[in-house]
């Protein structure tokens, strides 16, 4: 069996294995409970992210990790299963840091519950976080609880042209270590550095001026309606025109070598969270090359869309804890094996 939601990340919701039964959870739709005063909501797993964002926005709240693919029909459960976070994870953390409760059905047909509707709940094994990135291999999520934050009053983005990737990486690393409350730091090769500020308008202006003086490279400011539209296009991967779209967790230290690999095959790529996440768009016939090169670098990639033979490519170390959890929740192998 393979649960799926809105199919906004199609490679993760399909399988080439014979006899796999798809489980469509999009009928599990709706917000069950939302208390703006407590900054917590619970919703069924098939609820579109766009519906959740609309409900939160009415109370000037949001999910700070900027979940991708909301405009493409992504669901709350699919976001958890894929383990995807957007540019805001730099400041606030990823989906793992905001999920506080989960109800699910395991491979034995048991309805299980972990966590709750308060940020501080009973101690124990934190199942909700274990489902982040599980790709539907551990069970069927049917209800999820998240904490949320107040939304910033305004945004301002600084776009710097630094000339080459090494300078952009070094500058992003420098900025991330300074006491500026940057909402996001993204890099587009060969040397564009985009810094997003969120908060009070006057504070954004003051911080922007300080950053411009620090970096001292040509800079363009983005604000108003065009500013969120630019980041929304990034969340939807509008720039990714290749057949495959791959996410690769990395670090600023190994990013230069990784960029050499992608540059050699002329792949489109964007780097988020100050160089800790790479998204790469390439042709299907380049997948084997990237798989080999990622293995050499000790990095793993997750194929979000495209005709790749497997969902995960690159380095795949033995995950003992994940295997033990899989055996406990799915002893008869009802769900797909771990990739």
pLDDT at 71 over 90: yes
Q: Could you give the CA distance from residue 339 to residue 323 in angstroms, rounded to a whole number?
A: 11
Average pLDDT over residues 260-284: 95
pLDDT at 287 over 60: yes
pLDDT at 319 over 80: no
Q: Which two tokens stand for residue 161?
A: 């042209």
Higher pLDDT, 29 or 13: 29
CATH assignment of 154-235, given 3.40.50.150, 3.40.50.720, 3.40.50.300, 3.30.70.600?
Answer: 3.30.70.600
In contact, 114 and 102? CB cutoff 8 Å = yes
pLDDT above 90 coverage of the chain, percent: 80
pLDDT at 120 over 70: no
Average pLDDT over residues 91-99: 95
The model carries a pTM of 0.92
DSSP classification of residue 188: E
Question: In the prediction, which pLDDT does 297 show?
Answer: 94
All CATH 3.30.70.790 domain ranges in the chain, comma separated: 244-314
DSSP result, 253-289: TTHHHHHHHHHHTT-EEEEETTTTEEEEEE-GGGHHH
Q: Could you give the CA distance from residue 14 to residue 18 in angstroms, rounded to a whole number?
A: 11
The mean-pLDDT minimum among 74-83, 281-290, 310-319 falls in: 310-319
All CATH 3.30.465.10 domain ranges in the chain, comma separated: 2-150
| Class at the top of the CATH hierarchy for domain 244-314 | alpha beta
123 pLDDT tier (thresholds 50, 70, 90): low
Nearest to 135 by CA among 277, 319, 279: 319
125 pLDDT tier (thresholds 50, 70, 90): low
Question: In the prediction, which pLDDT does 16 show?
Answer: 75
Token pair 């003086």 is found at 213
Question: In the prediction, which pLDDT does 320 show?
Answer: 75
All CATH 3.30.70.600 domain ranges in the chain, comma separated: 154-235
pLDDT at 317 over 90: no
Question: In the prediction, which pLDDT does 308 show?
Answer: 86
**Residue pLDDT, tens place only, 213-237:** 999 899 999 998 889 999 999 999 9
**Residue pLDDT, tens place only, 98-118:** 999 999 999 999 999 987 766
DSSP classification of residue 215: H
pLDDT at 330 over 70: yes
Which CATH architecture does the domain made up of 2-150 adopt? 2-Layer Sandwich (3.30)
Higher pLDDT, 316 or 294: 294
Write down the H helix ranges in 9-158. 49-57, 76-82, 89-92, 127-130
In contact, 94 and 72? CB cutoff 8 Å = no
Average pLDDT, the chain: 92
79 pLDDT tier (thresholds 50, 70, 90): very high
Question: In the prediction, which pLDDT does 197 show?
Answer: 97
> Which residues, in sequence order, are CB contacts of 52 under 8 Å at separation 6+?
31, 41, 43, 63, 76
Q: Could you give the CA distance from residue 51 to residue 57 in angstroms, rounded to a whole number?
A: 10
61 pLDDT tier (thresholds 50, 70, 90): very high
Dihedral angle sign, alpha carbons of residues 229, 231, 235, 236? positive
């Amino acid at each position: 069996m393979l649960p799926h939601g809105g199919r906004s990340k199609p490679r993760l919701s399909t399988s080439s294995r014979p006899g796999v039964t798809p489980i469509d959870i999009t009928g599990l739709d709706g917000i069950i409970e939302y208390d703006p005063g407590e900054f917590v909501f619970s919703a069924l797993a098939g609820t579109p992210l766009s519906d959740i964002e609309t409900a939160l926005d009415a109370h000037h709240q949001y999910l700070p990790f900027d979940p991708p693919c909301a405009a493409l029909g992504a669901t709350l459960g699919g976001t958890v299963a894929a383990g995807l976070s957007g540019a805001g994870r730099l400041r606030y953390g990823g989906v793992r840091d905001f999920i506080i409760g989960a109800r699910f059905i395991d491979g034995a047909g048991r309805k299980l519950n972990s966590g709750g509707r308060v940020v501080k709940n009973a101690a124990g094994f934190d199942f909700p976080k274990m489902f982040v990135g599980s790709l539907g291999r551990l069970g069927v999520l049917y209800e999820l609880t998240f904490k949320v934050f107040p939304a910033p009053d305004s945004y301002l983005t600084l776009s710097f042209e630094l000339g080459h990737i090494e300078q952009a990486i070094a500058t992003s690393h420098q900025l991330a270590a300074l006491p500026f409350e940057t909402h996001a730091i993204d890099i587009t090769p060969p040397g564009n550095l985009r810094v997003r500020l969120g908060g009070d308008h006057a504070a954004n202006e003051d911080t922007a001026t300080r950053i411009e003086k620090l970096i001292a490279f040509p800079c363009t400011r983005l604000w108003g309606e065009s500013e969120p539209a630019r980041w929304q296009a990034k969340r939807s991967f509008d720039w990714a025109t290749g057949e495959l779209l791959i996410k690769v967790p990395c670090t600023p230290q190994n990013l230069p070598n990784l960029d050499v690999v992608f540059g050699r095959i002329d792949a489109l790529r964007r780097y988020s969270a100050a160089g800790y996440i790479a998204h790469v768009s390439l042709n299907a016939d380049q997948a084997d090359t990237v798989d080999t090169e990622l293995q050499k670098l000790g990095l793993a990639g997750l194929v979000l869309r495209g005709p790749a033979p497997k969902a995960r490519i690159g380095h795949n170390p033995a995950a003992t804890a994940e295997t033990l959890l899989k055996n406990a929740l799915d002893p008869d192998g009802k769900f797909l094996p771990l990739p």
